[in-house]
Amino acid sequence: MSLLFLTSLTGQSVNGKYILKKPLGYGGSSIVFLADIISPTQNFDSVAIKLIEVDNNEKEKQIQELKIALSLKHKNLIDCYDFFDCNIEGKAVFGLVMELADGSLEDYLKQFENLSLSAKDRDMIVKSILDALQYIHSRGIVHSDLKPGNILRVGDVWKLADFGIARILNAKTSTRTANINGTFLFIPPEALEGIISPAWDIWSLGILLSRLFTDEHPFCAHNEMQFFEKIQKHDPILPQNTNIIYSFMIKGCLHKSREKRW
């Protein structure tokens, strides 16, 4: 079910604390609004609020994921302040109140189309992502949707966002799911078997590094079926002029076997 009907709520209040200003982005079952705070107890003026459709069959799991988002505190993660549930025009909706960002890495890369990022910019972006992944993996959490659109900039700091499909592994190093989540251009071969582990994020990191360092996807394909065949059976292809260190890093993240990935 789409939540696009919520775009008509601009200017209205939700949960008695926030006034929705304008939509910032859309997902399959969620929409993010810029919102102003009307509660005098808060010490920040504007926030981002992600409104998520409540799935009655997965409600407890959705609540768990929202609690994960609130529990994670790191300088390279978008800060989540609160979550609530409400009923909007007869629809049950969760709201996740988050730190407001200035834009995404996807937006940033579009600004540099046909231009090269400076080594300083690349280093800062990569280090920020690595620090964020190290933190969540140490907490037994896999993001499973690492991509430029989920890496946001707050001032001069790059932060990982959107734990809507994060997974808790507890004491195990991997788990299985019947559903393939994540943006398909960034998913690893084992996703087709439903295996989720920290190595999933490392594969996605390799694809992201390729985008940063070569401006190309290492598994070029004309359709989804061809893409899945390539990630399972073909080696990644990088431009011949790719810096040897960058090439080494990317290939270290893109081993077919998840046990061999960096």
Tell me how far apart the alpha carbons of residues 160 and 228 are, in angstroms, rounded to a whole number.
26
Q: How many CB atoms lie within 10 A of CB 88?
A: 15
Length of the chain: 262
The question of whether 145 is a catalytic residue gets the answer: yes
Cβ distance 194 to 176 under 8 Å? Answer: yes
Q: CA nearest 112: which of 238, 211, 208?
A: 211
Q: CA nearest 187: which of 145, 225, 142?
A: 145
Among residues 79, 145, 162, 201, the one annotated as catalytic is 145
Q: How many CB atoms lie within 10 A of CB 62?
A: 20
Token pair belonging to 71: 């529990």
Tell me how far apart the alpha carbons of residues 191 and 248 are, in angstroms, rounded to a whole number.
23
* C-alpha radius of gyration, the chain, whole number: 19
Token pair belonging to 11: 């200017």
Print the SS3 string covering 207-239: HHHHHHHHCCCCCCCCCHHHHHHHHHHCCCCCC
Catalytic residues: 145
